Amino acid sequence: MTAPGPPGRSGDTRNQGDPGDAGGAGGETRPRTEITTPEAIESDERPDASLRPQRLDEFIGQARVKESLSVFVEAALGREEALDHTLFYGPPGLGKTTLALLLAGELGVGIKLTSGPVLEKPGDLAGLLTNLPPRGILFIDEIHRLRPVIEEFLYPAMEDYRIEIRLGDGPRVETFSMKLERFTLVGATTRFGLLTAPMRARFGVVERLGYYPPAELARIVTRSAGLLDIPITSGGAEEIARRARGTPRIANRLLRRVRDYAQVRSEGTIDSATAEKGLTLLNVDEYGLDEMDARVLKAIIETFEGGPVGLASLAVAVGEDAGTLEEVYEPYLIQNGYMQRTARGRVATRKAYERFGYALPSDRAGSEGGAQGALFGDDG
């Protein structure tokens, strides 16, 4: 064993039995109800709507994405045309839905919302498409989950603004083609890798959203606090931002929880000390890691002796689908220096060992320089 325990930090027990974790029955996919989960949870929904930026210039961060969107919007408006079909992808909670909604505002057009799993038959989609106003937006969330029949139906709509309607079935089926108004399909997905090639090819604009640096998250927290009438200092906003896992949704959630704490335990203002105490009480990781992040890193360290370990084995060890692991969880860990992808597999970095209070295995401890470079080498 190269991973001498026991881990020295409190909070590690969370991962053993997870008594607080809902959905124990079946044990298949456990809903992640932790406060730092990047996915939307029930208590988010109403407040989130009021915090969503309505216009592009209220949208903080993602400068490159904003810049290109504003160019495309201006061009489409200038030509009085529909915006090209647009795809947003990236981990949960980074603003994909928000961008889709605010595009409608920027273009001054109506928008209809649906999502991949909701569309069961072509008729569902036909109804939405035929009811769109000229140059309107159809937003399909979780577009990687479209059924193949729906996808087939969508292709001519996207390409030629035309749908094939089938009447009746069996040998007496009749099909006719129906013209649509020009429209913009906006798709969002956390799993770009699951989109089919023909689907990807039909988007003229493809934008990836990445994690927000702490300074941008702090601006988001400050903006949200203003909207919610919460007094906050810049230090307080920074403290929340640092622990929000690069994710605006988590930042907003932490803000509301710390507000409760500040209201009860201090004068009501969130300064950095209040934020710190509140977040510690809420058991929010001071490094911004969530429960799944911790599980992944500990699996590499404990089960695979620090790695390298292949994606498939790691996925089995943490009970998550390999593609989700790769596209949704790993990017944060890699960007933040907890994990590296090498030619031979995933490796836990020194930072990961330190985070969980493990001693670096002796065969790595002394190898800061050359050897470490080889072992931890980045192959992209």
Ligand X SMILES: Nc1ncnc2c1ncn2[C@@H]1O[C@H](COP(=O)(O)OP(=O)(O)OP(=O)(O)O)[C@@H](O)[C@H]1O
What gap in Å lies between CA 369 and CA 213, rounded to an integer?
Answer: 28
Residue number with CB closer to ligand X (253 or 298): 253
Work out which of 242, 249, 259, 298 binds ligand X, going by CB under 6 A.
249
3-state secondary structure of 329: helix
Determine, following the binding rule CB under 6 A, whether residue 97 of this chain makes contact with ligand X. Answer: yes
CB of 111 to Mg ion, least distance (A): 13
How many alpha carbons lie under 13 Å from residue 108 in its C-beta half-sphere? 6
- The nearest distance, CB 94 to ligand X, in angstroms, is 5
CB of 128 to Mg ion, least distance (A): 18
Phi/psi at 294 (nearest 5 deg)? -65, -40
**In angstroms, rounded to a whole number, what is the distance separating the alpha carbons of residues 253 and 343?**
38
Backbone angles phi, psi at 345, to 5 degrees: 140, -170
Of residues 89-128, those binding Mg ion (CB under 5 A): 96-97
Cβ proximity to ligand X: between 103 and 163 the closer is: 103
Per the CB < 8 A criterion, the answer to whether 330 and 339 are in contact is: yes
Binding piece for ligand X, criterion CB under 6 A, among 93-101, 111-119, 163-171, 172-180: 93-101
For 49, how many CA atoms within 13 A lie in the half-sphere containing its CB?
4
Q: Is 94 in the site for ligand X (CB under 6 A)?
A: yes
Residue 39 interacts, among ligand X, Mg ion, none and using kind-specific CB cut-offs from 5 to 8 Å, with ligand X
Q: Tell whether the torsion through CA atoms of 266, 267, 269 and 271 is positive or negative.
A: negative
Choosing from 37, 76, 87, 95, the residue that interacts with ligand X (CB under 6 A) is 95
* Site track 171-190 with ligand X (rule: CB under 6 A), x = hit: -----------------x-x
Phi-psi bin for 95: left (phi > 0), alpha (psi -120 to 50), beta? left
Q: How far apart are CA 76 and CA 156, in angstroms?
A: 21
The residue number with the shortest CB distance to ligand X is 95
Element (H, E) at 128: helix 122-130
Let me know: does 92 contact 39? Beta carbons within 8 Å: yes
Taking the complex as a whole, the smallest distance from the CB of residue 368 to Mg ion amounts, in Å, to 42
The smaller minimum CB distance to Mg ion, of residues 91 and 307, is found at 91
Specify the residue, 146 or 339, whose C-beta has the smaller distance to Mg ion.
Answer: 146
Q: How far is the CB of 315 from ligand X (least distance, A)?
A: 20
Q: Amino acid identity of 194? A: L
User: Among residues 121, 192, 110, 118, which one has the least CA distance to residue 153?
Assistant: 121
Window contacting ligand X (CB under 6 A); options: 3-11, 44-52, 173-181, 272-280: 44-52
- Give the interface with ligand X as residue ranges (CB under 6 A): 39-40, 48, 51-53, 59-61, 92-98, 188, 190, 220, 248-249, 252
* Site residues (vs Mg ion, CB under 5 A): 96-97
